[in-house]
Structure 1
Amino acid sequence: MPKVKKLGNTPNLMVVVSLTIALFLIGLCGLLTLNARKLAEVVRQNVEVQAYLDNDLSNAKLDSIYKQIAKYPFVLFKDNSAQINFISKDAAAKQFIEDSGEDFHKLLGKNNNPLLNSYSIKIKEEYFSESRLKEIKKSLERIQGIKEVGYVENFVDEVNKNISKIYLILSGFVLLLLVIIIMLVNNTIKLALYSQRFLIRSMQLVGATDSFIRKPFVSKGALQGLISGFIASTLLIVTQQLAVNKVDGLVILQEIDKMVLLILIILMIGVLVGVTSTFRSVDKYLKLSLDDLY
């Protein structure tokens, strides 16, 4: 007995696989964008300004300078604590020798240390620009007891430029990919509906309305989009966890709330593309003449 075709019974695998690949690529671009944003935030929050102090300052004077610095609005606070660290000249000398491999004590003598005590100050992200850092430098140098203020010049502007380029490239790639994906999925669904074109015409001939004919197809398209979204999201999470386990330091870029939002967006895009493409494809066959169906 020949198998009777059911309205809305289109091939699942072909549509789901195509849509899953498409959604995974979109999600991957979104994940890269989130990681780039988080990396930029981490870099900005770790920018430090060094306030070098005069020699032979008393503990009371050091404490006074600390309190004056902490009052400035550009100082980063965490857990109600100003991110200001005192670095003694002995600690600075030890770090210099470890980093450079050169011991200046051999030349100057063990008791001679040309380095200065300093305060290392972390800056809020909104002050992450060359012009604002110059203003910070001038403000700190007005404090009595601070001899000089230093930071890595031009580094800030270079980081900002590179971050902007990354956002622009990824955004352009996502938009291009989205257009290509919509066209690809649209054609895939059209091919999947091809076998149902005569059944659609038969339903029209017996008086079924267009909305009645569309309903099972659109419902199927929404389900296919949802399934594809779940599979793509699972692959994305697995890919992220593999990367985190393989590459040291990537764990600091993870943001659970942003990842959940990305997954919800992928699911929404999956359902939207599935419904829209199915609706357009069914509408095409509803408007075709009998001769065009052949």
Structure 2
Amino acid sequence: MARKKKKVGTYPSGMILFSLTLALFLVGFCGMLAIQSKRLVTYIRENYEMRAFLDKDLDTRKLTRLQRTIAERPYILKTSDSAQISFVPKDVAAKEFIAETKEDFSKFLGENPLRDSYRIKLNEEYFEETKLQQVKEDLEQIDGVFEVVYQENLVDNINRNITKIYAVMSAFALILLIIIVVLMNNTIRLALHSQRMLIRSMQLVGATNGFITRPFLARGIWQGFLAGVIAVALLLAALQLAIRNLPELAMFQDPEKLAMLMAGIVGLGVIIGFLSTYQAVNRYLGLSLDELY
């Protein structure tokens, strides 16, 4: 029975495809975590509230004018052309205070000492201590505003923790990328080991390095593309499963950035497949006959 001839550019690729798919899936998973955490940070910052306590005995006309004045400030969060300002009468504030503390101060004070207030949400870029202090000072200069309060230490703590989380995730992603490159180089090099003598034979009959390299590169690019597509499919399946079990995650999705991430994973697979194959083939092209054995 005739022995089947080897064709240049063909080599065992199952392990390469599996390894690259797994590596790209891990990279994509890190990217998805980064996107979700960014949306979560934005949600936290945009739902952070300042309280603007008002002067007493303001009539409806003055309250309307005051709310309009505050809404025109550039730091006020606006969604669907609506400023995120909500009026809280002092009676409602008293009920909230009693529900939280379980203490009814009206029984021993005889009156409600609280003031009407506005709860104000700010744009994300103002979520830092110096800018919040400037916002506070600006609001307190408006006629009708008695005092503006916010949790000062909370902002700094949140920002510090966010910075730490991003630093850890970036370091992990960088380490993972280095491991992937090293792993793929070694895996493809081992896979091409069976082709080393065929490469040498083609050199002996006068084939150029470009002619020898071309089919290997084409196969490496195809493997990278296929691994990227499979990794994307697995990531989307994992995301849908997570949303199905935890519906609250749906509000933290960013379709545009998610699409960019998926395209980047496929592109990264193609680049890794190309570069790793190119490096491995060039290594065998430069070996002598004794080194090949």
Q: 1:258, 1:78 → 2: CA distance?
A: 20
SS in 1 for 2:36: helix
Q: 1:28, 1:96 → 2: CA distance?
A: 43
Contact 1:36–1:166 (Cα < 8 Å) also in 2: no
Are 1:58 and 2:67 an aligned pair? Answer: no
Q: 2:230, 2:101 → 1: CA distance?
A: 50
Q: Percent identity?
A: 49
Count, aligned residues = 292
Q: 1:156, 1:261 → 2: CA distance?
A: 31
SS in 1 for 2:152: coil
Deviation, structure 1 residue 97: 3.2
Deviation, structure 1 residue 166: 1.3
- Structure 2 counterpart of 1:282, one-letter code: V
Contact 1:89–1:117 (Cα < 8 Å) also in 2: yes
- Could you tell which deviates more after superposition, 159-168 or 262-271? 159-168
Q: 2:215, 2:4 → 1: CA distance?
A: 19
Q: 2:243, 2:35 → 1: CA distance?
A: 14
Contact 1:36–1:163 (Cα < 8 Å) also in 2: no
- Could you tell which deviates more after superposition, 74-83 or 273-282? 74-83
- Could you tell which deviates more after superposition, 224-233 or 94-103? 94-103
Q: 2:100, 2:212 → 1: CA distance?
A: 73
- Could you tell which deviates more after superposition, 53-62 or 211-220? 53-62
Per-residue CA deviations over 1:97-150 (Å, capped at 9, x if unaligned) read 3334444445445xx323221111111111111111111111111222221111
Are 1:74 and 2:75 an aligned pair? Answer: yes
Query: 1:215-294 alignment to 2 at 5 Å?
Result: 215-294=214-293
Q: 2:120, 2:39 → 1: CA distance?
A: 21
Are 1:208 and 2:207 an aligned pair? Answer: yes
**TM-score (structure 2 length as normaliser):** 0.95
Q: Which runs of 5+ in 1 are unaligned?
A: none
Q: 2:196, 2:22 → 1: CA distance?
A: 27
SS in 2 for 1:56: coil
Structure 2 equivalent of residue 135 of structure 1: 134
Q: 2:235, 2:93 → 1: CA distance?
A: 44
Q: 1:104, 1:9 → 2: CA distance?
A: 83
Per-residue CA deviations over 1:140-177 (Å, capped at 9, x if unaligned) read 11222221111111211211111111111111111111
SS in 1 for 2:147: strand
- Structure 2 counterpart of 1:152, one-letter code: Q
Q: 1:48, 1:227 → 2: CA distance?
A: 47
Distance 1:203 1:15, change over 3 A: same
State the superposition RMSD in angstroms. 1.4
- Structure 2 counterpart of 1:178, one-letter code: L
Per-residue CA deviations over 1:47-78 (Å, capped at 9, x if unaligned) read 21110112221001111211221222111112
Structure 2 equivalent of residue 17 of structure 1: 18
